[in-house]
């Protein structure tokens, strides 16, 4: 169990780093979006590449942060049903959900999407819009994001089994509301002060 928990910590570390990096893509997307809107209103012109990069960034944010969201327990849950269960019961429900829903869904989408991504990469697929971007990078977000989500699902599975076996804390302990926002503010403050958050 200890080697699995070490692997789980490594996966958590990877998704933590990816998630914190992806947070900055939100700022980039907002700046590009605001710039596009200003240029369109002030100069009555626009760039298809800049419009497309906005939805490329949205895809990257959504897909690459899926594992981080799962790690932080910030994903959508059915708490109205599970809140009445004991911590052990909640962890059992999560184990069933991971094994029978999350992993099969992610595996199926990975299996179905890989040929599409490879075809796009091999052909150098481009946007049909004038001045548009190449398409394979945005399509690559699907297997990358799902790969990170599958890794995190494995990590969460290990942590829940460890808790049920008495080898670890309850991975479902709730943080206070707004925890993700507080973490983002703390990370930005730490970066401004030139130190790295633990």
Q: What's the number of CA atoms in the CB half-sphere (13 Å) around residue 91?
A: 21
Instruction: Tokens for 142, please give them.
Output: 């699907």
Tell me how far apart the alpha carbons of residues 55 and 138 are, in angstroms, rounded to a whole number: 9
pTM for this structure? 0.80
Asked whether the beta carbons of 70 and 145 are under 8 A apart, the reply is no
* Residues recorded for the chain: 198
Q: For the segment 106-147, what is each residue's pLDDT rounded down to a tens digit?
A: 999 999 999 999 999 999 888 888 877 888 999 999 999 999
Q: For the segment 153-191, what is each residue's pLDDT rounded down to a tens digit?
A: 999 999 999 999 888 888 887 654 455 566 667 777 777
- Domain borders along the chain are 2-192
């Amino acid at each position: 169990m200890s080697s699995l928990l070490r692997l789980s910590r490594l996966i958590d570390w990877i998704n933590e780093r990816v998630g914190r990096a992806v947070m900055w893509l939100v700022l980039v997307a907002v700046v590009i979006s605001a710039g596009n809107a200003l240029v369109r209103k002030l100069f009555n012109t626009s760039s298809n590449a800049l419009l497309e990069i906005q939805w490329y960034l949205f895809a990257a944010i959504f897909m690459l942060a899926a594992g981080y969201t799962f790690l932080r327990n910030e994903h959508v849950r059915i708490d109205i049903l599970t809140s009445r269960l004991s911590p052990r019961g909640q962890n059992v429900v999560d184990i069933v959900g991971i094994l029978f829903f999350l992993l099969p869904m992610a595996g199926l989408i990975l299996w179905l999407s890989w040929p599409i991504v490879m075809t796009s990469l091999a052909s150098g697929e481009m946007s049909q819009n004038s001045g548009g971007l190449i398409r394979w990078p945005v399509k690559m977000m699907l297997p990358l994001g799902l790969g990170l989500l599958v890794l995190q699902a494995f990590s969460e599975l290990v942590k829940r089994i460890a808790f049920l076996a008495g080898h670890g804390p309850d991975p479902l302990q709730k943080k206070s509301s707004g925890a993700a926002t507080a973490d983002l503010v703390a990370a930005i403050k730490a970066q401004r002060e030139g130190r790295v958050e633990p």
